[in-house]
Amino acid sequence: MQEISPHVFIETGYPGVTLGAIAWAHGLILVDAPFRPDDVRLWRTTLLNMSGGVDRLLVNLDAHFDRTLGARLMECTVAGHEKMVQVFRDRPVTFKPQTIETGSEWELYNGLGSVRWAPPEITFSDSMKLFWDDKPLILEYHPGPSPESIWLKLPEEKVVFVGDTIVPNAPPFLFCATILDWLAALNLLLSHEYSDYTVISGRDGVVTTRDIQRQAGFLEIVDSIIQRAMDDKIPADDLEKAIPDLLKHFEIPAGKREHFWMRLKYGLQHYYSNHSKLRSSAQCE
């Protein structure tokens, strides 16, 4: 576990997502959860050794399986964007993890068992402030990677957790995305407002301005591919032909090429399908 600011910690040692823990006098504010039951138990044991009050609040930065499969096992109140509620309503009450080939991290592991979801009990629309200390913690809505994506911001500490807004060193998750909103969020991170912030990716800990710029550049390329495909009305399956060139933007770890290929294939095809329908609806109005 790494302390990036007084009482603000991150953990990148578990598969899935970057975890956060903010140890305040009132209790612990946690950012996302491990997806493997054994990792949840180990993470909870680690948290017992942290100072702070007895209360616990888990903030899910979006509804992605990698960060929500283990949420119920954390056994604490969950907060998230109000759109997460509908996402969980659309999921089966009990989920038996099987390989569905979206390119998510949880698909690389066995033995997850049956999962019962933990929908957020505390929700908001645009922003919400929490005062568990003499300094505020702000949850803000920043769609782009998904319709329910949020950031957790600590203005006094100059720290912001941005979830999948930045996925460094790997293809981002595109299947629920809206690239124009995503680029707007990245441009905000590149603005003066965040020039002195430590930015925490939901996938690889602390990121740099260069990481943010590279994410934006990659999304612009993807958007161009999708827009041309929609203009030419090509079949969604044909988007797979673009994957070899897209993968050249990453240094792919050994054994991960097929997994990253599947992530892009699933993401491109679903993005294309979702936004083709939106374009058709707009043209009919």
Long-range contacts of 240-247 (CB under 8 A, 24+ apart): 240/265, 240/268, 240/269, 242/268, 243/268, 246/171, 246/218, 246/221, 246/222, 247/171
In a domain, 226, yes or no: no
What's the pLDDT tens digit per position in 91-101? 877 777 666 68
Q: Which pLDDT score is estimated for 77?
A: 95
- Beta-strand ranges (E) seen in the chain are 2-5, 8-11, 19-24, 27-31, 55-59, 77-81, 94-95, 115-116, 122-124, 127-130, 137-141, 150-154, 159-161, 198-201, 205-207
Specify the number of domains making up the chain.
1
CATH number, domain of 150, equals 3.60.15.10
Geometric angle at alpha carbon 160, from 158 and 165, rounded to 5°: 150
Would 200 be classed as within a structural domain? yes
Q: Which pLDDT belongs to residue 25? A: 83
Instruction: Please state the separation of Cα 79 from the chain's center in Å.
Output: 14
- What pLDDT is recorded for position 47? 92
For residue 22, tell me if it sits in a domain: yes
Residue 242 counted as domain residue: no
- Residue 135 has what pLDDT? 86
**Residue 246 belongs to some domain of the structure:** no
Whether residue 279 is contained in a domain is answered as: no
Name the region of 263 (left: φ>0; alpha: ψ -120 to 50; beta: rest). Answer: alpha
Residues of the chain with pLDDT under 50: 279-285
Give the C-alpha separation, 44 to 68, whole Å.
15
113: left (phi over 0), alpha (psi -120 to 50) or beta: left
Distance of alpha carbon 57 from alpha carbon 49, whole angstroms: 17
In a domain, 181, yes or no: yes
Q: Does residue 249 fall inside a structural domain?
A: no
pLDDT digits (tens, 9 = 90+) for 40-73: 999 999 998 887 677 899 999 999 999 999 999 9
Confidence (pLDDT) at 24: 87
Give residue 99's pLDDT: 61
Q: Would you state the pLDDT for residue 283? A: 43
Q: Domain span at residue 39?
A: 2-209
